[in-house]
Structure 1
């Protein structure tokens, strides 16, 4: 058997699938040829080492690289990664977004350290939140200089108009405020009473219409009877009852003329004269 033929049938020899005579010839050649014997020993040692070794863990970025090569549309951009960083840290990301987010954090070099930096910053904030830090020297003066243009608080004065308004408000507020409150209360009570008594529909326009009607009646009425009608109309507006039309003069059943009042007789007239 030649050496190249030995190498071609080496796998079949190790799997023990060769025929008996061929298997015997193969073994004799391995014993006679030092190179083939060394090759056979190396292959057997490698197979034993592979069988002894456990299952190898896949690299951490293997799945991410495979998906990036086969389905690039599922990859996440850096902007989406930063927008969903808070939800990821709070545990609110759904499963599909969670895996996409983790794959991007593995593949993107600029985003890999971002979650750790944010977590460390939050931890530092919680550490310093209970500590009272001293105010740096000159901080107040720098703030005054940057905002108002002066380091001395006494040099900062409000405008003249603001000072005058503040002075007037300080003197007039104790005097005007109670009086205005009283006047406003009286006006509210008056409006409430008028809208619930005089107004027909409970609105201010109804009060105005009622006042116009009363003014018109007062202008047209010039006698005592007219004043009585005005008074009666005002009472009807307050009570909400319609006005009662005046009774028509009674007519005589005979000729259709109004019945005249009976004249006093002579004796009655004489008695009145004597009394007077």
Structure 2
């Protein structure tokens, strides 16, 4: 018996890296998995791994960046497994450049895959789950979004990626607040692991230990948290952001109203230097932008 028995989960970008680790992790806990990836052969290979271990999986390469493509993913999942209980929005791309040299195409491609990709599939699924809820059927659904340390604190050379990942955090909070009434939770993860997106940048830092010791950068280390978030056991958790790496898990402490001062009337610009400096002196400093 696994904690995801009789559940069906869609995972995007699941042909390798973190997505593959999630797919294998869910399958090991009894879930039926829709392995979505634009690389059809990679998706099929992950399905073969799952099926070789006695699991059930469906390879899919439909487009996550359009509602039409997302609808096809849902249709395929229902056609094969009759139900969908959760989605892990994992697919992503990087187009790293310093802000001064970033192009419009660099910006748009990252926003398309990350933010629009997160919206389309979750929106299609939410409409499906809402209809079931309104019909009086029990819904115990999960949206698991993927942010990053770049979204939490920023990253030099990744203004597009950082902005997209920060947007996903805001999206997650609103999803959690709006969708609870339908039996849907929404959480986000900020994983740290060795994947194709880190190749060439963090190769030395993230390489596996030569002595055979614990590989803290292995994507499989993040999978248990994601699998738990996709299970029925996590029904009481929503609107949270988790960082994960190796055996380390943290709940991110997000934006909140900090030190304050109210004059009870309009401020004059010349007054604000002293006021703002005083507030900043009381405030807890933000984490430094990665790379500074």
Q: Using structure 1 for the length normalisation, give the TM-score.
A: 0.15
Name whichever structure is richer in helix by fraction.
1
- Greater Cα radius of gyration, structure 1 or 2: 1
Name whichever structure is richer in strand by fraction.
2
Larger RCO, structure (CA 8 Å, separation 6 or more) = 2
